[in-house]
Amino acid sequence: MASERTVLITGATGKQGGATAGALAGKGFRLRAMTRKPESEAAQALAKAGVEIVKGDLDDAASLGKALEGAWGVFAVQNTWEAGVEKEEEQGKRIAKLARDKGVQHFVYSSVGSAHRQTGIPHFDNKWRVEETVRGLKFPSYVILRPVFFMENLTSPWFLNGDKLHAAMDPNTILQMIAVEDIGQYGARAFTDAERLNGRAIDLAGDAVTIPAAAATISKGLGKPIEFVRIPIEEVRKNSEDFAIMLEWFHKVGYNADIAGNAREFGIRPTTLAEWAAKQRG
């Protein structure tokens, strides 16, 4: 049956979509990757791997409709930092509604850890509203994944600049995090085990460390000294109130994914930050 099922993956040339496409390859599904730039190097690499490439834009209902034609399943993910909070919510609801209209049987939505906990974080709360839309559409089956903070964020310009890891977080705050590769493993499982997981919303994490500890771990992985530098939250707030609220929530409340429980249930061994960091050199 799986060989007759087409899965449309949004964000296939990005982190989560790309990881899910890679993990789902060879599992018997026909993979279709939606991208705004089919000519891009990332899209062409997917094409060479046997993935069908379709041009589509989350802001363009007509292109989404074409991309969804004949799809059995959808992996839907949006990018807050690219689209903005309001537009991301519109995008998430748009593809969910169009997918239902087009007869998609299984819908997988990548939300965010703790979206259901009334965090007050704008780019968490908007994903909760998209979740509610997905549930309300009554797909024959659906799964919601809620990944926490990405390990990949730590080496992005948001945090790492030269040999300094900047963060406006209390040094004692323990932050759950996950490697994007692990998200892909769960993304694939959401399709291969669709019937059993129907209706589930699963918070995903792989490790939990303080930011100073993360700096030390990344230092060892990269093979060069990395120093944690705490910056005032007010400096973050000048650039993004949303981001500042999130960092404050990390300290006051924090994620609560069941790392050990997920590993037992799914048999997916979580990637530790040390393991992830060891792969980053070079």
- Asked if 43 contacts 35 with a C-beta cutoff of 8 angstroms, the reply is yes
What is the CATH number for 45?
3.40.50.720
And the tokens for 42? 């990332």
Classify residue 119: in a domain, yes or no. Answer: yes
Closest among 187, 202, 211, 220 to 256, alpha carbons compared? 202
- Identify whether 247 is part of a domain: no
What gap in Å lies between CA 143 and CA 196, rounded to an integer?
10
Structure tokens at 175: 């932050």
Domain count, the chain: 1
Q: Is residue 244 one of the residues assigned to a domain?
A: no
In degrees and rounded to multiples of 5, residue 207 shows phi and psi of -160, 170
Interatomic CA distance for residues 14 and 191, integer angstroms: 19
Question: Whole-prediction pTM value?
Answer: 0.96
DSSP string, 86-139: HHHHHHHHHHHHHHHHTT-SEEEEE--TTGGG----HHHHHHHHHHHHHHHTT-
Let me know if residue 109 belongs to a domain: yes
In a domain? residue 214: no
For residue 61, being part of any structural domain is answered with yes
Cα-based torsion angle of the residue sequence 52, 56, 57, 63 in order, rounded to the nearest 10 degrees: -140
Distance (Å, rounded) from C-alpha 232 to C-alpha 243? 13
Residue pair 72/104 in contact (Cβ under 8 Å)? The answer is yes
Output the pLDDT for position 1.
47
Q: Give the residue numbers spanning the domain of 101.
A: 2-148+180-204+257-264
Reading the chain (282 residues) residue by residue, the pLDDT tens digits are 455 799 999 999 899 999 999 999 999 999 999 999 888 998 999 999 999 999 999 999 999 999 999 999 999 999 988 888 999 999 999 999 999 999 999 999 999 999 999 999 999 999 999 999 999 999 999 999 999 999 999 999 989 999 999 999 999 999 999 999 999 999 999 999 999 999 999 999 999 999 999 999 999 999 999 999 999 999 999 999 999 999 999 999 999 999 999 999 999 999 999 999 999 875
